[in-house]
Structure 1
């Protein structure tokens, strides 16, 4: 219940009523110069001739009046607690005896365009009743009553029409309709009595620029002046007036607006000639229009959840916000696009600034890709015959390369070959019309893909493609693993991406078929990201038997074995991942081929009690199998704990450790302003790896030839400190190696398990102890390169003799 005091009818005294009746009506100071002259809210409605709503001002004074910091604002006839004033910012000036036309929102009907306006907004006025205010600031009003608005000093003039609660004088102006406006009487007198100052009649908008109006002359700044030679506009936060440009593209979904580009560039290669105009509603301009735009220059930073402008690692986009737009002409030719290729895109993706903010440095287009793209931000660009290196996601976003020979994988992607070595040819493409081309890695957009160069809300440069090349489908075939020789043990890892019982049956079927057909029914499978029985519902459930029953049934239905499983339920909400999901690692195993060695008391709490390495008849064994490695250690905070199991194959012991190290969440962006980006999560992963290395070492201390397989989603690269620490016990990899990371045994162009934003990289690993020889190993690409995925990770499998 709200703590707001409620005044009941019985509690209202006669004196209270008298006081309420004594409150004055809205009575601002009479305006002797600029007034609201006409208001029309029926534009585009049924029966209307005009397509747009409009507001018209008039200067009844003897001198020009600047409108550069003014606005017109609108509120509904009976505003509620959550109702806010809508604002259209103005610019330019209005000469004595002249009018100033402001175009507002369009409807779906009507047959006639408004005359050329002095300013353009997106307010959807009521056709019958509402309140319009002329305000000498561009800050939204907060008053909700006639009395409060009368006391608001920034209101120059105000009209309430129809049944509006807020009006000047004792009565509203007449109601309007789809075919009538309310206009000031011919005498033009402003008596602050809306009921007598205005009359309903036919809409009569006067063309913009009839006085000085918004004007049709360019202002003092051009686009390259606003963009500047740095990373943030030199006039950030300032009002800009009549900035000229040609409309090159529209954005009609999401953050709505349009791009403009100056066809007359300056001689400075660091200054872009284009920018985005943020309207917030569907833009009313057309591609090819020559326009003058006034508003506020602003640096827009895309923010992830929990980010602020101060903390985000994303770069900014220079925009004009709160715009007023004057159309000068239409049907103009667009500036020629810059063709991006290996010839002009730098070889270095980002400069090494020791973690400093790149915004503190000048833009040097030849220094890095980030610099170069900042220098042409918003401008029309083109890529030709672009090969896809990152598949379409559900939002129709995909990545291509402008350097087809750079770090190419054997299946067409672009590979990460070292820390902070993002492939410089990688570039996102998003169709401007919202379509989804459903492309896979290796497909090609043949011909030209053209559009303005933008910066994604998730970070990274992209082409907002108004022209998309024709898709050439190269029919990338999923990898199929070689079948198991009967005398070899096969062990696999597969991250199944937040698998829950509520997932569609098709996902379970595809995972089952993938394990049977593509992985060739491994004897043991480490499965990561298995959620509890209630999925992401945070209800305290931790058991996952329903999830695993559905998964193993799907495998059997696909012709595979009836897998058994071993796992340890986590403590509720203590292992990270999707909140409420309680993801964990699980061993699936084929009991017809291998035996799981269960050990330890049945009543011990394996969630919090760690397993230990013990010697049994001179051979290593586990005090708890299945068990967790040192689960109370702080390195596992909000992260999965490694699951350890002892298996027997053909009478010999094999120790398997299933991992899912802490994710890279919170790390700075590879496409952002801090370079090289800080990886705050790397410290925790290195600590996790060190704890696990020491555990493996204890197994090998008992038997240096023990068969140990460490596998899973390590959330890190093959050259990372974490993987180095897991192999050698040192983050720089200089210690003696006790494990071999099998991804490093593949040819360079095959070393990847994941495709992150168009970069093929390694997150999943299988490592084996030195005692394991005569092995074969494959990464089975069935997901990460495809727009239609059962998971975002690719599985992998190793086979060896025990």
Structure 2
């Protein structure tokens, strides 16, 4: 009989999606809030499941699974499992008393209440049965070295002397160990530790996934009997699972990788003489490599050893393996050549190469670096580009979106470090991060060059490429199998124009720090020092002045290098929420910009007199370079509670290039900065629930906001006498989603897709949540657009919120990772209306002028002062003589149509229309004035 192997729960790939949806920025980096729940506890709560017997459940019964991480059995006599709802008290909860013992390295299953659907699968025979009806979404469970009911509350319970372990899960849990609760669950999912990780931090240690109940008395199966000789290909078979599961086998092969530390506890074995050219594969459809589970064998054997191994075959969470009982190095030599192959696109093709040593061929690109900061895994995409959000490519539910999702699945692969270590936990934060510590930025979109062979591995519900030994910074020169292209750009590309407009989400820039308020709770660094506000107060940014300084330094560097004349900001503090002037944080940012770029370089647009009755603690705003731009008139806020009751109100301002003509709207543009409702939670409207079509929650709210924005922009533009409108900001909608389509259907052009770049990276794929959209009256004056990938493509380790969360401090004062969104820059060619046919001035498409007694209209645009940089003509003759003698000139009150910029002669003077005038359609148009240009 082979030894019973503890269950390994879901790892970083599965966890990334769940954690990212429920945890605020910085959740995974925090040190434990309560030290009494120790990483060295003799027994831990390993898994909890509360959906038993409900609709969509995996089992008919709830359960709590315990785990003994030690090498000695532990008696549970006199212990109890105690339960409380997410916000309830232990005194009003429930309890199951325990008995018996939990074996060394083993599990102990506590079955709880059975649900209404008893036809669902039953649990394995439990060790103890209780009656607790657990929540299917979130609650609290404590393992107590007593049967007395807990009398503690909140975080104090983690420090109670009798508490061995405590886990809170779900966003509402008010007691937990460490920085935050474990992820929420559904009827179909449990929360379980990642490979039994126990850093005393629920947020870092647990992931949501498929329930895997295991009891100390779980039947290990039938006796495998005497070992039979089998090749590795025969062990693997040609299907997803081995045909020899449960059998004892003896096989031989060459050791290609060893992992005695870091949690894998085994090695890879491959049949001697295999690899090299795929055309020479003697066992097509069946892999010639297998994982051997034995920490002792991995510690004793070396890569290149030709060995014989005897043990039982099993399938462990999708990975075929042999649990080794004995092993011996053979006298005859053997060798393996890395298989030179491109990435296998289907699961069947990957199964046929499971465990094989590869020399990857073709292009690979970084597509995900979020978990690089915690589990040292890098998401790759086979090919020359990262994976893309399906609704960035096609409409929700469309063939294009489906094809993109299929392409993502075919090209995705992890590049791992040969370990399951969580470097974000308190227990491991003193160990420097692999991959990042060596100096490579490991940016999304960077090309990957493999310099050493890798093993094709399956764990954490994903296919991955493992180095041949565990990767740590001290052995990187000998072990690291890949290097990465440096794609950083010091500044965005030139966009041209007479006015450059940018948009920038500044990641909760709050100059009111948490320590200035009461009730704030924090995400802390590895020393326990607060870094960012978690909850408990209205602040959302830096915890203390030193943290704000780090954040502000990077934001200022980024805004300065962006090169914009006007920058629309999102996620900046609304200082009115803290009893200050509404513009205080905005003023503080401008002071910092001027300290960086020189006094008077920057200014901000003051808040308008009319403000909404209710606002969020974050807001939208404008800053501008005084030498490049001038505001025209006051700013305006859209106050529409039916649309923006759950989002930040749009802010509009008319701008012109510095030195422009205030009375002439010809060089004006209306800029509106926006921050729509986020995708993470459902708003109040029917249709706000997440339907699973890729648009996330609150799509109806964002559609309402987009619709209201169109009307608001029209009103502001009409009052300004211009049809030039630029909508910018964080719309929380990818390019093909409903809210963006509302705007494009209204005549706006989304400029971001013209760049081939994206502003955001989430869950292993890129897409644009931030947008710049030009009105039909502005589009021909757009001279260029660029998305500056200064933030979203960078590892989160460089963010101010991750300062000192790992032994290697990756923060610097550069613009890189100043936020989680990338800024957009747009160039606009704005100039006063044309005063005469032959002067050096800008004529816009549709402008009308009189010349030699005829009326002409510009069909293209023309820059008379820059003949090498513009497109000329043609001009179309559109009407009867305009410059006439008295008596034949069309009457001022006639039905003639004059366009903005038209020039006519009347009473011996030349007059130009400063606005537009439709005398034949009074009531639908705007009138005069006309500007006297002088004698005819």
Q: TM-score, normalised by structure 1?
A: 0.50
The equivalent of 2:354 in structure 1 is: 377
Please give the residue correspondences for 1:628-643 in structure 2 after superposition, counting only pairs within 5 Å: 628=639, 630-633=640-643, 640-643=647-650
8 A Cα contact 1:456 1:462, kept in partner: yes
| Kept after mapping to 2: 8 A contact 1:533/1:541 | yes
3-state SS in 1 of match to 2:728: strand
1:775 Cα deviation after fit = 1.6
Partner SS for 2:743? helix
Superposed CA offset, 1:31-52 (max 9, x none) = xxxxxxxxxxxxxxxxxxxxxx
Match of 1:520 among 542, 563, 572: 563
1:594 is paired with a residue whose SS is strand
**Partner SS for 1:249:** strand
SS at match of 2:622: strand
Asked if structure 1 preserves the Cα contact closer than 8 Å seen for 2:495 and 2:827, the reply is no
Residue 590 of structure 2 is aligned to residue 552 of structure 1: yes
Does 2:703 align with 1:689? yes
Q: How does 1:192-271 map to 2 (within 5 A)?
A: 218-219=227-228, 239=246, 241-242=248-249, 244=251, 246=253, 247-251=255-259, 255-263=263-271, 269-271=284-286
How many residues matched?
508
Flag the 1:527–1:70 CA change in 2: closer, same or farther, 3 A. Answer: closer
Whole-angstrom distance in 2 between the partners of 1:665 and 1:269:
45
Judged with a 3 Å threshold, the aligned counterparts in structure 2 of structure 1 residues 292 and 330 are, in CA distance, closer, same or farther, namely: same
The correspondence for 1:711, drawn from 708, 728, 753, is 728
Matching residue of 2:787: 779
1:429 to 415, 418, 434: 415
1:779 Cα deviation after fit:
1.9
Return the match for 2:631 from 565, 573, 595.
Answer: 595
Tell me what 1:768 maps to.
774
Distance 2:650 2:416 in 1: 41
> 1:739: how far off?
0.7
Deviation at residue 741 of structure 1 after TM alignment: 0.5
**What residue ranges of structure 1 are gaps of 5+ in the alignment?**
1-66, 73-80, 88-120, 127-132, 144-151, 155-213, 301-316, 347-367, 410-414, 576-581, 600-624, 668-676, 729-736
Alpha carbons 2:649, 2:675 under 8 Å: kept: yes
Look up the match of 1:738.
Answer: 747
Q: Which residues of 2 match residues 583-622 of structure 1 at below 5 A?
A: 584-590=619-625, 593-595=629-631
Deviation of the 1:727 alpha carbon: 1.5
- What is residue 339 of structure 2 aligned with on the other side? 338
Distance of aligned partners of 1:658 and 1:696 in 2 relative to their CA distance in 1, 3 Å threshold: same
- Does the Cα contact within 8 Å between 2:367 and 2:386 map onto a contact in 1? no
1:505 is paired with a residue of what secondary structure?
helix
Whether the aligned pair in 2 keeps the contact of 1:741 and 1:766 (CA below 8 Å) is: yes
Distance 1:376 1:70, change over 3 A: closer
Distance 1:698 1:540 in 2: 28
1:700 equivalent in structure 2? 714
User: Counterpart of 2:299?
Assistant: 284
- Superposition deviation, residue 793 in structure 1: 3.0
- 1:726 alignment counterpart: 743
Q: Shift in Å at residue 297 of structure 1? A: 3.6
CA-CA distance at 1:383 after TM superposition: 2.0
* Change beyond 3 A, Cα 1:763–1:693: same
| Residues 193-252 of structure 1, C-alpha deviations (whole Å, 9 max, x = no match) | xxxxxxxxxxxxxxxxxxxxx9997458876677665556788xx755457465432446
Instruction: Summarize the Cα distance change of 1:471–1:320 in structure 2 as closer, same or farther, 3 Å threshold.
Output: closer
Mapped contact 1:71–1:134 kept (Cα < 8 A): no
Confirm or deny: 8 A CA contact 2:568 2:620 kept in the other structure. Answer: yes
Conserved? CA contact 1:528–1:660, under 8 Å: yes
* CA gap 1:273/1:678 in 2 versus in 1, 3 angstroms: farther
How many Å apart are 1:370 and its aligned residue?
Answer: 4.5
- Residues 528 and 584 in structure 1, CA contact (< 8 A), matched pair in contact too: yes
**Following the alignment from structure 1 to structure 2, what is the Cα–Cα distance between the partners of residues 334 and 661?**
59
Aligned to 2:654, the other structure's residue is in SS state strand
Q: Counterpart in 2 of 1:14?
A: none
1:478 to 450, 469, 490: 490
Distance in 1, matches of 2:607 and 2:239, equals 54
Cα 1:449–1:590 shift into 2, 3 Å? same
- Judge conservation of contact 1:122–1:281 (CA < 8 Å) in 2: no
Q: Go from structure 1 to structure 2 and tell me whether the alpha carbon gap of 1:527 and 1:476 turns closer, same or farther (over 3 Å shift).
A: same
Per-residue CA deviation, residues 592-651 of structure 1 (Å, 9 max, x unaligned), is 73337557xxxxxxxxxxxxxxxxxxxxxxxxx3345x4455x976xx434232335354
Which residue matches 1:491?
A: 501
Which of these residues, 628, 633, 637, is aligned with residue 626 of structure 1? 637
* Residue 429 to residue 710, structure 1, CA distance change in 2 (3 Å): same
Does the aligned pair in 2 maintain the 1:252–1:283 contact within 8 Å?
yes
1:354-373 → structure 2 map (5 Å cutoff): 368-373=345-350
Match of 2:653 in 1: 646
Q: Pairwise mapping of residues 307-346 of structure 1 onto structure 2 (< 5 A)?
A: 317-318=318-319, 323=323, 325-329=325-329, 333=334, 335-341=336-342, 345=343
For 1:739 and 1:334, the matched residues in 2 are separated by: 63
Deviation digits for residues 116-173 of structure 1, max 9, x if unmatched? xxxxx996569xxxxxx99999965799xxxxxxxx999xxxxxxxxxxxxxxxxxxx
User: The residue matched to 1:794 in structure 2 has which SS?
Assistant: coil
Q: Which residue of 2 is the match for residue 448 of structure 1?
A: 451
What is the SS of the residue equivalent to 1:563?
strand
1:753-774 CA-partner distances (Å, limit 9, x unpaired): 3455775543321112112141
Q: Does the CA-based 8 Å contact 1:401-1:427 persist in structure 2?
A: yes
Indicate if the aligned counterparts of 1:272 and 1:375 stay in contact, CA closer than 8 A: yes
Q: Is the 8 A contact 2:240 2:351 kept in 1?
A: yes
Instruction: Provide the rounded CA distance (Å) in 2 between the counterparts of 1:70 and 1:370.
Output: 28
Q: Cα offset for 1:688?
A: 1.0
**C-alpha distance in 2 between matches for 1:227 and 1:544:** 66
Separation in 2, partners of 1:711, 1:278: 55
* Residue 662 to residue 327, structure 1, CA distance change in 2 (3 Å): farther
Aligned-partner Cα distance in 1 for 2:770–2:500: 17
Deviations 1:542-590 (A, max 9, x none): 9997764554343223216333266899999x98xxxxxx655443345
Q: 1:136 to 1:710 in 2, by over 3 A?
A: closer
Query: For residues 158-169 of structure 1, what are the structure 2 equivalents within 5 Å?
Result: none
In structure 1, C-alpha distance between the alignment counterparts of 2:619 and 2:296, rounded to whole Å: 44
The Cα of 1:796 is off from its aligned counterpart by 1.1
Give the direction of change, closer, same or farther, for the CA distance of 1:710–1:71 in structure 2 (3 Å limit). closer
**Greater percentage in helix:** 2
CA displacement, residues 344-375 of structure 1 (integer Å, 9 cap, x when unaligned): x46xxxxxxxxxxxxxxxxxxxxx44543344
Question: Does the alignment pair 1:658 with 2:668?
Answer: no
Output the CA distance in 2 between the equivalents of 1:255 and 1:382: 25
Q: Give me the whole-angstrom Cα distance separating, in 2, the residues matched to 1:687 and 1:85.
A: 43
- Classify the secondary structure of the residue corresponding to 2:452: strand
2: CA distance, partners of 1:501 / 1:86: 33
Contact 1:221-1:241 at 8 Å conserved across structures: no
What is the match of residue 314 of structure 1? none
Equivalent position SS for 2:648: coil
1:743–1:766 Cα contact (<8 Å) kept: yes
Gap change, CA 1:123 and 1:751, over 3 Å in 2? closer
Counterpart of 2:825 in structure 1 is 797
The 1:432/1:274 distance shift into structure 2, 3 A limit, reads same
> Quick check: 1:641–1:659 contact (8 Å CA) kept in 2?
yes
3-state secondary structure, aligned to 2:505? strand
Name the residue aligned to 1:563: 603
Determine the C-alpha separation between the residues in 1 that align with 2:507 and 2:315.
Answer: 39
Q: Are 1:272 and 1:376, in contact at CA under 8 Å, matched by a contact in 2?
A: yes
